[in-house]
Amino acid sequence: MIRGVRGATTVNENTEEAIVSATVELLAKLIEVNHIQPDSVASVLISTTEDINAAFPAKALRKFAEWTYVPVMCMREIPVPNALKMCIRIMMHVDTDIAQDKIVHVYLKEAKVLRPDLGSNLV
């Protein structure tokens, strides 16, 4: 079964270093808490708010050994008024037997406000 594993984080500045570093941190946590192996990943979608454009956050995935062939794509979020700024979101499509309600979705930094309804799944 393909499941969506979601996560989000924020950056304090629109620089390549901040974007890649925050994305590496988020990816590492998603991979760790969900025990994800690259061979089980169908694709990874990474979006940013319109105030992030100094680098492709997808560069972060290439810092992980054995993830070279995992398809990854960046895109821009819809600019909704009053939405969280400086935000990077990830949707990872993973082949897993884990039940939907057991997937651990990870929200870091200011992005913790995005999904308070996930309760104990928040890291």
Which residue in the list 25, 62, 87, 110 is annotated as catalytic? Answer: 62
Which residue in the list 3, 6, 13, 16 is annotated as catalytic? Answer: 6
Is 110 annotated as catalytic?
Answer: no
Which residue in the list 3, 25, 77, 110 is annotated as catalytic? Answer: 77
Is 89 annotated as catalytic?
Answer: yes
Instruction: Identify the residue whose tokens are 């070279």.
Output: 68
Is 87 annotated as catalytic?
Answer: no
Long-range contacts: 28-31, Cβ < 8 Å, 24+?
28/64, 29/106, 29/108, 29/123, 30/5, 30/90, 30/92, 30/104, 30/106, 31/64
Which residue in the list 3, 25, 110, 115 is annotated as catalytic? Answer: 115
Is 74 annotated as catalytic?
Answer: yes
Is 76 annotated as catalytic?
Answer: no
Catalytic (active-site) positions? 6, 62, 74, 77, 89, 107, 115
